[in-house]
Structure 1
Amino acid sequence: MKRNSRSSRGRVVIAVCAALATGTLLAGCGGASSSSSSSSSSAATGGGDTVDGTATLDIAMPVAQSLDPRQAPEPGQLLISAWPVYDRLIQVGPDARYQPMLATKWEFSSDGTTLTLTLRQGVTFSDGTPFDAEAVKANLDAYQKADKTAVQASLADVAGVTVLSGDTVELQLKKASTTVLSALSSTLSGIMVSPKALNSPDLAGHPVGTGAYVIESFKPGQSVVYKRRTDEGGIWDPKTGKPAEVAITSYSSSEAMENAVKSGQADVITWSAGDKKPFQSQLDSGQLQAHVLTQSTNTVGLNIKPSVKPYDDVKVRQAINHAINRQAIVEALQPANRPRVQPWPEQLPGFDSAREGAYPYDPAKAKELLAQAGHPDGFDGGEMLVAQVPGFSAVAEAVQADLAAVGIKIQVRVMDIYSLVTEWAKAPNPLELMYMNTSSIDAYSWLQRLFVNPLWRPAGADPELVKLTEGVDDPALTDEQRAEKVGRAVAYATDNALYAPLWQGSGGYVATGKVRGLDDVASVHGGVADLRNTYLAQ
């Protein structure tokens, strides 16, 4: 069995934002039937490879401090560390649509106030407890009682849970809303824990789920090791559980991760997909492989605070959008990603490709707009806060130069990604270079995140935009009706230049030549990684 020595590596925690910048959510369990798949010995795959069923898959990603969903501050941190052991009720597919996981079917009532889930049969938790409707109710009840936690907040619209039969459960909703599906696919409230373990004081370090693995060891913030389940019928998804063990380890820096994959200490690392130079010789020889995640909804850009003068003038905000050479920035610094003009990802309803022509790179137009706004010679633009994410500093410098070329002089301050959220909400800084997305595919949730949430709109949301977002979460809407309503809101936000988006995309992975399954992308939303289909070939 492949077992890398971990005790001598001297690894420490790397910021979670590095993984959020370059990760993905990979899971391919949508229509799988209940099945036993031990993968205890080598087996041929459909692609002609032979699985190394005795190998350890070593992954370099940040490890959470706790594996208890009620203690996780947000979904990404938990999924990175706990995907081998925990499955969710609903999965999100690569086409940004919900797919079956532990729930095989879901249906809203005619008035949208109840949601009925049909559950997968024949699934057991690793402690032998059956997965059924009682287990779902126990989990959701426990999450709702977890006072002042992220998991409780994500289920705020759920009024109650009723068991209808062994494989059917009904959720009563406080209001008709599609956001409950986002909660049930989340790596917080969608995770199912064995009812026997829910009240265990050791759950933070000893997770018990329906996944293909069980915990072997856990060092908070440093490393976690899982071993494949051996109980009969324990692995219900035949695409998972191929490696004998999965080890996830935090590294001190991106350079340390690069050295680890080049030396073979790590099999998979996250990658900004901006620079192949550190790996070029190994990529050319086939020792390493690079995978770009082209379907991610992750979006990056400038958030503009209209409460700070002169950014309260729409012409100034429009000038900023014309002044930035998105194409050049992406080609030079984010070549795997796609320039973005409208503040909306193309996978979600309401995206309009014609809207991408709203702000072509045009410094002369930018200067003309500034002159119309009363700033013919430009102005001192204040300080732009920049998330401390690999590659963002170089992007900030490029944006700073583009704005200076039309007379807007700004200073740049890079800061911790989590501190930035708080700072932006309370400080007078007019600009912020940050992610523009949420870990969800629910259009209403995205509208709230981008245009209403006070963390991102600290001066208050535009009343007209708030009105445009109303009713988008109505379960009774057809796809066409929802897309039309969302499109009106996104058009309004684009016309009023509330953001200056830069690109859509979230990097990818670099892996050793024997890694397989990274091209079997089942989901890429949320910027985090579930490598359940990944394995090592012999």
Structure 2
Amino acid sequence: MLLAGLLLACAACGPQPPQVPPDATPDPQATARFALATGVTRFDPHRATSSYDNTWLFPVYDRLIHMDPAGDAVPGLAESWHYGDGGAYLELVLREGVVFHDGEPFDARAVAANIARAQTITGSSIGAELETIVRTEIVDDHRIRLHLSTPDAALPLILSDRAGMMISPAAFDDPSLDRRGVGAGPFRHVDFKLGNRSVYERNERYWRPEDAGVARLELLLIPDETTRLNAIRSGQIQGATIGTLQIEQARLSGLNVQTGVGLEVLHMQINRARSHFGDRRVRQAMNHAIRREAIVRALGLGYGEPSVQPFPEGYVAHADELGRLYYGYDPDRARALLAEAGLADGFEFELIVPNIPAYLPLFEAVHDQLAAVGIEAVPRVLEGAQISERFYGATESDAALVTWGGRPDPSQTIDLLFTPGALPNPGDHSTPEIIRLAAAARREIDPERRAELLKAATAEITREAMDVVLSLPSSTFASRPSVQGMRVWASGNKPEFRGVTVLR
């Protein structure tokens, strides 16, 4: 073993959850406790830095536009929207009668204030997502136009994410906003213990009351997946995200399990400005060296989608013409490509590996497959925060074995990972054709023409071997039988708890 000290823990057999009577009904006064693997950076959505913050933020902050479980844009605080003047502006028609948790009214002025703050506040993590908005025009109390520097087809789904979360303007300068959110969502934020627990209570004035199916919601941080599963079994919590290796354990324990492939990407992300990764032949060789189907079978028990593309089959940006496995497992072809690149004797590179147990066997598999064609991956184990600092910030390592959390709109993933100027693209490497296709897809507001441009961009990214995608992992949530309404979302392991109830 290259990485010593890996301790494999077996989940203890826990008690079977009680059977739910067939005539059980939802308890409107119930408390629901769910555990997550990743904590929240802060409760100010304009400055929160991780896409996995969303699960902690969704209960308290309503968004202008919602995303349904399939990944489509649906009405939220905006009842409808449309582009005007050929995409020169996006007009939102806002829901009437909505108030923030502190009693402040939600209206067009609140939207304009939120967009201005998100664009200008020091430390904003979403300002770049709103950079095409050059000014806002308040048409009336419940209509606002977002005037754009260029048509931006990604904007509706961008507004379904943190960029569309509405903070009460009265709380903008509240020093406690990082610890206690003030929004207009289905739950009010009532307590937060750093690194441990966040508590929410039903917002009785929410515009769609059925979204708050319990009186009290508690989210707990439990990083260890075995501990999370045992907590569900014992009844300490009602549900949690779990790993794919735990699915059968959970089902044998009588738990409900929802699982499905979303927009997350498990990949060996390479800095294409370092090592030999600027050579397309080297990148193609690495892709041919990986046995993706074997990785999914062995490490995911068949859950997940082996793929070389960053989008799943059936998704609007998936390049159907290339298929999931455009780079089939072919070590002989990998060696030939390395020889063409002048690397017949192979090479070595530094690979960052997260200090998370699930990543260690993955590293072993990737290491051995690359070594078989002469490529030596030298591990550097780091904590999550260190990975952001070292790989993306300081760009001081060659590659990282990480999960991309996905984004609501495909243009966001394409722009952030494969075009210059974005933090998630260390080295800023791209190609003129990818830049051209990405920009064209972002500008095209006709859905059918945009879909063709997105597919073309993904095809070019794949042919250029801009990434070493390993798989599209399954997002999995386990819950006790009394929990109803839990769903898997296209956004990945960032569940929303809208409409979730607990039976009496």
TM-score norm. by structure 1 comes to 0.82
- 1:30-429 equivalences under 5 Å are 49-61=24-36, 62-64=38-40, 66-77=42-53, 79-187=54-162, 189-230=163-204, 234-251=205-222, 253-276=224-247, 279-280=249-250, 283-286=251-254, 288-294=255-261, 296-334=262-300, 335-346=302-313, 348-355=315-322, 356-376=324-344, 378-389=345-356, 391-425=358-392, 426-427=394-395, 429=397
461, 468, 472: which one pairs with 1:493? 461
Q: State how far apart, in whole Å, the 2-side matches of 1:446 and 1:312 are.
A: 20
Contact 1:304 1:311 in 2 (8 A): yes
Superposed CA deviations along residues 379-399 of structure 1, whole A, max 9, x for unmatched, are: 232221223455222111101
Aligned length: 477
Task: For structure 2, list consecutive stretches of 5 or more residues without a partner in the other structure.
Answer: 1-21
> Take 2:387 and 2:122, find their aligned partners in 1: how far apart are those partners?
25
> Matched residues in 2 for 1:215 and 1:289: separation?
28
Q: What is the alpha-carbon distance in structure 2 between the residues aligned to residue 276 and residue 267 of structure 1?
A: 16
Aligned-partner residue type, residue 42 of structure 2: S
Alpha-carbon distance change, 220 to 101 in structure 1, aligned in 2, over 3 angstroms: same
- Displacement of 1:100: 0.7
Tell me how large the CA RMSD over aligned residues is. Answer: 2.5
Structure 1 letter corresponding to 2:464 = N
Shift of residue 132, structure 1, vs aligned partner: 2.2
Structure 1 position 474 matched with structure 2 position 450? no
Aligned residue identity for 1:185:
S
Q: Find the partner of 2:432 among 463, 469, 480.
A: 463
Name the structure 2 match of 1:42.
none
Amino acid at match of 1:274: L
Distance in 2, matches of 1:309 and 1:214, equals 49
2:451 pairs, out of 467, 478, 483, with 483
Structure 1 distance, partners of 2:396, 2:166, is 42
Letter in 2 for 1:399: V
User: What is the identity, as a one-letter code, of the residue corresponding to 1:68?
Assistant: D
Structure 2 match to 1:40? none
Change (3 A) 1:494 1:206: closer
2:307–2:471 Cα contact (<8 Å) kept: yes
Q: Percent identity?
A: 30
Structure 1 residue matching 2:28: 3-state secondary structure: coil
1:326 and 1:223, CA in 2 relative to 1: closer, same or farther beyond 3 A? same
CA deviation string 1:465-491 (max 9, x = no partner): 223323221144x22322222233222
Whether the 8 Å CA contact 2:418–2:429 is kept in 1: the answer is no
Deviation at residue 285 of structure 1 after TM alignment: 4.7
**Aligned mates of 1:339, 1:101 — CA distance in 2:** 34
Q: Kindly indicate whether the alpha-carbon contact (under 8 Å) linking 1:316 and 1:369 is maintained by their aligned counterparts in 2.
A: yes
Q: Give the drift of 1:106.
A: 0.8
After TM superposition, give the deviation of residue 514 of structure 1 in Å.
Answer: 1.1
**Structure 1: gaps spanning 5 or more residues:** 1-46
Q: What residue identity is the alignment partner of 1:393? A: L
Counterpart Cα distance in 2 of 1:210 and 1:468: 38
Maintained 8 Å contact 1:274/1:507: no
Tell whether the 8 Å contact from 1:437 to 1:449 is kept in structure 2 after alignment.
no
Matching residue of 1:530: 496
Amino acid at match of 1:395: L
What is the deviation of 1:89?
0.4
Return the letter of the residue paired with 1:440.
P
Counterparts in 2 of 1:221 and 1:392: CA distance versus 1, 3 Å: same
**Distance across 2 between alignment mates of 1:48 and 1:112:** 52
Kept in 1, the 8 Å contact 2:135–2:148? The answer is yes
The aligned amino acid for 2:52 is: G
Taking the aligned partners of 2:175 and 2:426, their CA distance within structure 1 comes to 39
Higher relative contact order (CA 8 A, sep 6+): 1
Letter in 1 for 2:233: K
| TM-fit CA distance, 1:367 | 2.6
Residues 235, 488 of structure 1: CA spacing in aligned structure 2 closer, same or farther, 3 A cutoff?
closer
Contact 2:288/2:329 (CA < 8 Å) preserved in 1? yes
> d(CA) in 2 for partners of 1:205 and 1:528?
20
Q: Secondary structure at the match of 2:381?
A: strand
TM-superposed CA distance for 1:451, in Å, is: 0.9
Judged with a 3 Å threshold, the aligned counterparts in structure 2 of structure 1 residues 373 and 240 are, in CA distance, closer, same or farther, namely same
For residues 381 and 99 of structure 2, what CA distance do their matches in structure 1 show? 47
The letter for the 2-side match of 1:494 is T
In structure 2, the CA distance between the partners of 1:432 and 1:164, relative to structure 1 (3 Å rule), is: same
Distance verdict in 2 for CA 1:127–1:383, change over 3 Å: closer
Going from structure 1 to structure 2, the CA distance change for 1:358 and 1:117 (only over 3 Å counts) comes to same
* CA drift at 1:56: 0.7
| Amino acid in the other structure paired with 2:189 | I
Q: Partner of 2:6 in structure 1?
A: none
Q: If the length of structure 2 is used for normalisation, what is the TM-score?
A: 0.87
How far the C-alpha of 1:309 sits from its partner, in A, is 4.7
Q: In structure 1, what is the Cα distance between the partners aligned to 2:366 and 2:51? A: 30
d(CA) in 1 for partners of 2:190, 2:434:
50
Aligned-residue offset at 1:271: 1.1
Q: Which digits, 9 at most, give the CA deviation of each residue in 1:370-414, with x for residues without a partner?
A: 3333444x4232221223455222111101111112222222223
1:289/1:513 contact within 8 Å kept: yes
Q: Indicate the SS of the match to 1:533.
A: coil
Cα shift at 1:260:
1.6
